[in-house]
Chain A
């Protein structure tokens, strides 16, 4: 049981490049979320999903896309990277029975130059 996995662990992009951050969970959780963590700002919700085929915007969705074609996977796409997207990104999942008890992946540290 691997829990929540994220790849890559580290990534450096140039401004304007696109990329996809991968997230997968093997706990059959219905809910999945993407957060970004910035110094002094805690975690901010980017996008979330309550099940396959259903996604919605969080607090800071601009510049990011998501899709949820399976229960297990929830990739986050950066369309055209900007320096303001330099951050640590966390994926989390939770069960429908306890939606606020989230399980987090180890994070992806992204630097945009």
Chain B
């Protein structure tokens, strides 16, 4: 079946540091890939998406590229802010409108 593997957290960075959160997946067919973000005390929000190989999703300074050859969708941001502190979930589309989520990676950005 489908699965998503994310790097374990927490990830602690200083403000303005470069961020990478690794995500790899196993899936049949050609899924769409997503990053969701969960701020403290809130539900998940869609951050960005990519629907086919070599697509780059981007939003709010975050980017991720759909790499079919390495089955990866790593999240990057060039300069993180304290307000980026949250839990980040990698996810992929499955059959019957289902979404498979990774376990989440907590990011803490310190001033």
Contact = CB atoms under 8 A, between A and B. Distances in A.
> What band does the interface of chain B fall in when counting residues whose beta carbon is under 8 Å from A?
20 to 34
Interface residues of A, number: 24
Interface in A63-113: 90, 92, 94, 99-107
A41 interface: yes
Contacts of A101: 34, 46, 49
A42 B46 contact: no
Contact of B97 (A41, A50, A90, A104): A50
A100 B32 contact: yes
Interface in A14-50: 31, 35, 40-43, 45, 48, 50
B98 A94 contact: no
Contacts of A99: 93, 97
Interface string B10-47: 00000000000000000000001010000001111110
Nearest to A99: B97
A61 interface: no
A94 B97 contact: yes
Nearest to A49: B97
Given A40-B103, A45-B98, A102 B89 contact: no
10 contacts: A4-B43, A31-B97, A94-B97, A100-B49, A100-B91, A100-B99, A101-B34, A101-B49, A103-B46, A104-B45
